[in-house]
Amino acid sequence: MSRTARKASATPDGHRDPPNVGALLRTTYQIIRERQSAVLLKKGFGDLNQPLLNVFLYPGPDRARPSELAERANMTRQSMNYLLGQLEELGYIERRLDGGTGRRLVFLTTRGWKVRETVLGAVKEVEAEWSSDLGRQRFGDFLATLQQLSPIGGTVGLPALPRRGRATPRR
């Protein structure tokens, strides 16, 4: 840790506060993102950067509306459409009208599905390492706790994440 970082996290009496839950979650998430980037680069997907990977956030972009993807990534629709345009030019997605609803949806191409598989594989690698380091029981408890706390975990009726720029959800 740099001196600047140490000074910034020290209390007035010189003691360092332990990292809070937000910092711990962010840094462990960064480990996963870095692994995903390394594996993608190794497998020939060097044209994908972190902003473009935000489109692939769980549960993935296939058959989603651009506005849904923007909400998941906590960005404006305009920003998401810019990223979708780049991904379309690179051959990872297609935007088409859904015949049944007439809405514009995102569809993964074969290349896009390979990215999704690669990203998930990288996460599985990290999970296996953490399970090995912590032991299966502790890692299982860790996953169960995250699922319980997460709005997407499905085990607790927590409210949805706040939507950017709107007080009430659109129907």
**Residue of 59, 55, 38 whose CA lies nearest to 118:** 38
Q: Which two tokens stand for residue 130?
A: 């953490």
Distance CA 34, CA 123 (A): 10
Question: Does position 166 have pLDDT exceeding 90, yes or no?
Answer: no
Residue type, 45: F
User: What is the percent of the chain with per-residue pLDDT over 90, rounded to a whole number?
Assistant: 71
Model confidence at 154, pLDDT cuts 50, 70, 90, reads: low
pLDDT at 14: 74
pLDDT at 16: 84
Residue-wise pLDDT for 8-27, tens only, equals 556 677 778 889 999 999 99
**Residue of 24, 47, 38 whose CA lies nearest to 123:** 38
Local structure of residue 56 (DSSP, 8 states): G
Residue-wise pLDDT for 97-153, tens only, equals 988 888 999 999 999 999 999 999 999 999 999 999 999 999 999 999 999 998 887
Residue-wise pLDDT for 42-96, tens only, equals 999 999 999 999 999 889 999 999 999 999 999 999 999 999 999 999 999 999 9
**Residue of 28, 46, 44, 39 whose CA lies nearest to 120:** 39
Contact 17, 11 (CB under 8 A): yes
Distance CA 121, CA 133 (A): 18
Three-state DSSP state, 16 = strand
Model confidence at 156, pLDDT cuts 50, 70, 90, reads: very low
Distance CA 25, CA 19 (A): 10
pLDDT at 171: 33
